[in-house]
A and B are shown apart, each in its own frame.
Chain A
Amino acid sequence: MSLATMFKRNSLLDERSTWVTSVVLIVGMLAVVVLHALPSDHAWHLNGSVVSLLGKYLTYMLLALAVDLIWGYLGILSLGHGAFFALGGYAMGLYLTAQDAPLAGWQSAMVHFPVAALGVVLAPGLLALVFGWLAFRSRVTGVYFSIITQALTFALMLAFNRNEMGMGGSTGLTRFDELLSFSLSSEGMTIALFVASGVAVLLAFWGCKAITRSRLGRVCMATRDAEARVRFIGYRVEHVKLAVFVLSAMIAGIAGALYVPQVGIINPSTFAPLFSIEIVVWVALGGRATLYGALLGALLVNYFKTLLTGVMPDAWLFLLGGLFVVVTMFLPQGVAGLMAHLRRRREVTT
């Protein structure tokens, strides 16, 4: 086997969608950086707030990736992924708050960046580990799993709303000043956070792609399609599910940690069941089990959300609700499925 074919066979980039997505992401990121660097009176100049907004979209895309990994490839619909996102966000929020004023108790350790960074992945990871272990071990699947994940995030929302939690109560954590001793309000920081989010999305995209193409990924898809058979063949389905679920939660946590400094606040509303279920609709609209569909969906829905809530806030919920119905009834494969369908039709006709 020649090196070239080996590279081709094992490369992540041999699927067209993967390299197109990677190129689009990289070019898009570079374009934003360049446009931001233009003099501020230039017609094409992007100001800091737009870059922050795009950075926020990137963190949402990362979150959508995490949901697609378990919903698309493992068939687990989590209606509580916002909880992992929020936990990562709170870990980051504690770090940022600790820069201003020392915190009490165990939270005082969060003043060190490495500890906080560990917290960002460990807090959601541990929750997912415990919760997933309990759920998968007793074979809670399907809608039951969805409902208890929703109950989980609902319970966490109630808990974080309490002032006794030491997490700022219903106001949450806000008024951050600096990150790694750089001011958060500086232009440089804005662009750095944007690039960091973009790189995180890119790395996570490649990582998830690698997983789905690996042996683990094959087992995942087999589990999604016929769990009992996979179990009879001899795979420990629970372990597979648990590993991927925890990984997905950690990605969501990282997304949350990148989200907080760009938005400047984290509060219990991130735990709200509505937010978690919105993530699911991003993925559904983009197309499940494609990964790039999740990225596309998150970007599209949030772009329209920003657009509409500014112009006619009342219409947004109508549109979002309609989106749920239309996508599930008429676009079960999402936009990605629609594009694939159109491409096939073109190939047939030509």
Chain B
Amino acid sequence: MTPTHTMISRLRGKAGSRRVNGLKIAPRRWYCLPVMAVLLVWFALVSPSQADVSPQRAQALLQALDTDDFDAKAEAAQAIAASDAAQKTRWLEAFLDGRLGRERDGERFYIITDDSGREWPIIDAITFEDAGTGSRRSVDAFRINNTLRTQLQGLIASLSLDEGDEATRLDAAKRLIGEVDAQSVDAVATQLDNEESPAVRAEIETALALYRVEQGEGEALATLEGNLDTRVRNSLTTIANSDAPIAADAEKVLAGIENKRAWYERGQTLFFGLSAGSVLVLAAIGLAITFGVMGVINMAHGELIMLGAYTTWMIQQLLPGQPGLALLLAIPGGFLVAGAFGILIERSVIRFLKGRPLETLLATFGISLILQQLVRTVFSPLNRRVNSPDWLQGAWHLNEALSLTLNRLGVLIFCLVVFAALWALMRYTRLGLEVRAVTQNRAMARSMGVRAARVDMLTFGLGAGVAGLAGVALSQITNVGPNLGQSYIVDSFLVVVFGGVGNLWGTLVAGMSLGVINQVLQPWVGAVLAKVIVLIGVILFIQKRPQGLFAPKGRTS
């Protein structure tokens, strides 16, 4: 152990149990300081964290592992972990993976860096210098059993606690839970004293408390209250089912944990429900506008959603490797493409079928078939995958029981933003005013100078554009294919009818509640039956309240 390293260790304040091996530190005098400084720089430059124990000592440490007795191996591993060798973590990791070995006809120790194939690249275990290649014949890897493996994992975890940044230490501390045993408990306790980060401390405390509880100490149970870790729960379940004196207390704590878990699971279900609901709302809200204002059933709405999704895919094909930018561009892109198609449909077909809702329904259904087949012919009948940008991948782990998938969270937020924008549009703009006027009383609005035909066109374009936005959002959570729209059309109609025609708030509430109800039912009856039950429920609801949750204001004759 060099003085420099002792100092560094002290400065960092995270020293484990350390021994100074036979080297006396000189008494501190004033002239020591510059010398130390020079030495420190020199060490930092020349020998980065290597050979802090003599090669002989390292050799001896590794030598101890070279035995057939697993108990002796365990002791040797403990000794390595307790030593000051800088290589110790690497040794133990290699040992754990069965990649630490000894030269068959010599005394050198090697780490096999890659043990796939016949010839392995190896490095010297002490100096980490390249040692060429070895094979099954020239290197004997140290064998390991399951008991040893568990112990090594604990040792490595506690070693990592010494090193690295907070994230690494937190990770190591988490791995420590359930791995603490009689040999390592003191070391872990020391680490707890030296640790400053509260998050890491909490994990270490949990690990220690779990060990103490397993040893039968009832007081430690208090620390475990409300802990959501699976290993804690498993241990407590075992204890509660045993005849240990603390079984009753453990059961109480366990009940608290289960209760807390159940709440978080409800939160998770709620989140999934809301995210599924937000998809429904996005799909249905454009429909609500066109249906509410024009009384037009647009069966091609699903296909407009599909067009939005395909626009996203197209833009992503044009901008390879930049899914984030492509997605952002797809938002206005999808709106414009779907909106343009919507205006085209309105101008060419729907305009001529005014006042004949059933015919409009059939004609727009025909358009939906044409659009579907068009996409099949132009692109392919196969599903396309739209990549998610990095910031929409993965999940946000709040704790052990609750994690929110980022793409679903994104869709939820997007839905709320779109809803807010539409609401503001309806509430504060001239177009919104005209739309509301035409919805409430078409004849009166026209006599006041509102050009109803123009309002129809713009409304239909707006509704179609919002469908395009729904498509952009959908491309992030499902594959894009020609049947994408069809699978949402029945659901979105139900949302519109359930919420009350022409009512934005009704659509929001209806979509979200259908999503949540569906998600709540799913674990009991399965996905398909849940959907069937929701459909039947809405059918029955419409019988009871044909005007929907929120009755439209104004005259709907």
Check A135 for interface membership: any CB of B closer than 8 A: yes
Q: How many residues of A contact B (CB 8 A)?
A: 42
A120-147 contact mask (Cβ, 8 Å, vs B): 1 or 0: 0000000000010011011110111011
Q: Are A321 and B367 in contact (CB under 8 A)?
A: yes
With A317-B370, A321-B368, A322-B370 as contacts: A162 and B528 at CB distance below 8 Å:
yes
Please measure, in the bound complex, the distance between the C-alpha atom of A140 and the C-alpha atom of B539, giving whole angstroms.
Answer: 11
User: B residues within 8 A CB of A161?
Assistant: 528
User: B residues within 8 A CB of A242?
Assistant: none
Within 356-386 of B, Cβ neighbours of A (below 8 Å) are at 356-363, 365-370, 372-374, 376-377
Q: Are A159 and B542 in contact (CB under 8 A)?
A: no
Please measure, in the bound complex, the distance between the C-alpha atom of A159 and the C-alpha atom of B527, giving whole angstroms.
Answer: 11
Q: Are B362 and A143 in contact (CB under 8 A)?
A: no
A323-342 contact mask (Cβ, 8 Å, vs B): 1 or 0: 11101110010000000000
Please measure, in the bound complex, the distance between the C-alpha atom of A159 and the C-alpha atom of B534, giving whole angstroms.
Answer: 12
Tell me the minimal C-beta distance from B371 to chain A in angstroms.
Answer: 8
Q: Are A152 and B539 in contact (CB under 8 A)?
A: yes
User: B residues within 8 A CB of A143?
Assistant: 297, 357-358, 361
Tell me the minimal C-beta distance from B482 to chain A in angstroms.
Answer: 10
Please measure, in the bound complex, the distance between the C-alpha atom of A324 and the C-alpha atom of B540, giving whole angstroms.
Answer: 30
Q: How many residues of B contact A (CB 8 A)?
A: 42
Query: Which listed residue (B358, B535, B543) contacts A135, Cβ 8 A?
Result: B543
Check B531 for interface membership: any CB of A closer than 8 A: yes
Q: Are A146 and B535 in contact (CB under 8 A)?
A: no
Please measure, in the bound complex, the distance between the C-alpha atom of A284 and the C-alpha atom of B358, giving whole angstroms.
Answer: 11
Q: Are B532 and A159 in contact (CB under 8 A)?
A: yes
Q: Which of B310-318, B334-342, B489-497 contacts A (4 or more CB under 8 A)?
A: B489-497
Check A151 for interface membership: any CB of B closer than 8 A: yes
Check B39 for interface membership: any CB of A closer than 8 A: no
**Most A Cβ at <10 Å: residue of B360, B362, B373:** B362
Q: Are B377 and A140 in contact (CB under 8 A)?
A: no
User: A residues within 8 A CB of B366?
Assistant: 281, 320-325, 328
Check B31 for interface membership: any CB of A closer than 8 A: no
Check A189 for interface membership: any CB of B closer than 8 A: no
Q: Are A150 and B493 in contact (CB under 8 A)?
A: yes
Check B349 for interface membership: any CB of A closer than 8 A: yes
Check B28 for interface membership: any CB of A closer than 8 A: no
Check A314 for interface membership: any CB of B closer than 8 A: yes
Q: Are B358 and A151 in contact (CB under 8 A)?
A: no
Query: Which listed residue (B359, B373, B539) contacts A328, Cβ 8 A?
Result: B359
Q: Are B539 and A151 in contact (CB under 8 A)?
A: yes
User: A residues within 8 A CB of B538?
Assistant: 151
Q: Are A280 and B546 in contact (CB under 8 A)?
A: no
Chain B binding surface SS class: helix
User: B residues within 8 A CB of A139?
Assistant: 546
Query: Which listed residue (A138, A155, A273, A317) contacts B536, Cβ 8 A?
Result: A155
Check B430 for interface membership: any CB of A closer than 8 A: no
Check B544 for interface membership: any CB of A closer than 8 A: yes
Tell me the minimal C-beta distance from B430 to chain A in angstroms.
Answer: 30
User: A residues within 8 A CB of B535?
Assistant: 151-152, 154-155, 158
Tell me the total A-B contact number using a CB cutoff of 8 A.
Answer: 119
Query: Which listed residue (A135, A273, A325) contacts B363, Cβ 8 A?
Result: A325
Return the chain B residue nearest A142 by Cβ.
B357
Tell me the minimal C-beta distance from B283 to chain A in angstroms.
Answer: 15
Tell me the minimal C-beta distance from A74 to chain B in angstroms.
Answer: 12
Check B524 for interface membership: any CB of A closer than 8 A: no
Return the chain B residue nearest A329 by Cβ.
B352
Query: Which listed residue (B353, B494, B497, B543) contacts A138, Cβ 8 A?
Result: B543
Check B199 for interface membership: any CB of A closer than 8 A: no
Tell me the minimal C-beta distance from A251 to chain B in angstroms.
Answer: 21
Check A77 for interface membership: any CB of B closer than 8 A: yes
Tell me the minimal C-beta distance from B342 to chain A in angstroms.
Answer: 16
Within 258-280 of A, Cβ neighbours of B (below 8 Å) are at 273-274, 277, 280
With A151-B535, A329-B349, A329-B352 as contacts: A317 and B369 at CB distance below 8 Å:
yes
With A151-B494, A159-B528 as contacts: A146 and B370 at CB distance below 8 Å:
no
Check B222 for interface membership: any CB of A closer than 8 A: no
Q: Are A320 and B358 in contact (CB under 8 A)?
A: no
**Most B Cβ at <10 Å: residue of A137, A144, A284:** A144
Check A232 for interface membership: any CB of B closer than 8 A: no
A146-181 contact mask (Cβ, 8 Å, vs B): 1 or 0: 111011101100110110000000000000000000
Within 517-539 of B, Cβ neighbours of A (below 8 Å) are at 526, 528-529, 531-532, 535-536, 538-539
Please measure, in the bound complex, the distance between the C-alpha atom of A151 and the C-alpha atom of B532, giving whole angstroms.
Answer: 9
Query: Which listed residue (A142, A144, A325) contacts B367, Cβ 8 A?
Result: A325
Check A182 for interface membership: any CB of B closer than 8 A: no
Q: Are A328 and B362 in contact (CB under 8 A)?
A: yes
A217-232 contact mask (Cβ, 8 Å, vs B): 1 or 0: 0000000000000000
Check A318 for interface membership: any CB of B closer than 8 A: yes
Q: Are A329 and B363 in contact (CB under 8 A)?
A: yes
User: A residues within 8 A CB of B368?
Assistant: 321
User: B residues within 8 A CB of A327?
Assistant: 362
Q: Are B531 and A158 in contact (CB under 8 A)?
A: yes
Please measure, in the bound complex, the distance between the C-alpha atom of A139 and the C-alpha atom of B535, giving whole angstroms.
Answer: 19
User: A residues within 8 A CB of B365?
Assistant: 277, 321, 324
Q: Are B369 and A321 in contact (CB under 8 A)?
A: yes
**Most A Cβ at <10 Å: residue of B353, B356, B366, B374:** B366
Within 240-269 of B, Cβ neighbours of A (below 8 Å) are at none
With A151-B490, A273-B490, A317-B369 as contacts: A144 and B528 at CB distance below 8 Å:
no
User: B residues within 8 A CB of A324?
Assistant: 362-363, 365-367, 369
Q: Are A321 and B493 in contact (CB under 8 A)?
A: no
Q: Are A325 and B297 in contact (CB under 8 A)?
A: no
Within 277-331 of A, Cβ neighbours of B (below 8 Å) are at 277, 280-281, 284, 314, 317-318, 320-325, 327-329
Please measure, in the bound complex, the distance between the C-alpha atom of A185 and the C-alpha atom of B540, giving whole angstroms.
Answer: 44
Q: Top 8 closest A-B pairs, CB basis?
A: A324-B366, A321-B369, A321-B370, A317-B373, A155-B535, A321-B366, A328-B363, A328-B359
- Can you list 28 contacts pairing A with B, beta carbon distance less than 8 Å? A77-B358, A77-B361, A138-B542, A139-B546, A140-B543, A143-B361, A147-B493, A147-B497, A148-B539, A148-B542, A151-B490, A151-B493, A151-B535, A155-B535, A155-B536, A158-B531, A159-B529, A161-B528, A273-B490, A280-B362, A317-B376, A318-B369, A318-B373, A318-B374, A320-B366, A321-B370, A324-B365, A328-B356
Given contacts A147-B494, A281-B366, 9 further A-B contacts (CB under 8 A): A140-B542, A143-B357, A159-B532, A277-B365, A314-B376, A323-B366, A324-B365, A328-B363, A329-B353
Which B residues have a C-beta under 8 Å from some C-beta of A? 297, 349, 352-353, 356-363, 365-370, 372-374, 376-377, 486, 490, 493-494, 497, 526, 528-529, 531-532, 535-536, 538-540, 542-544, 546
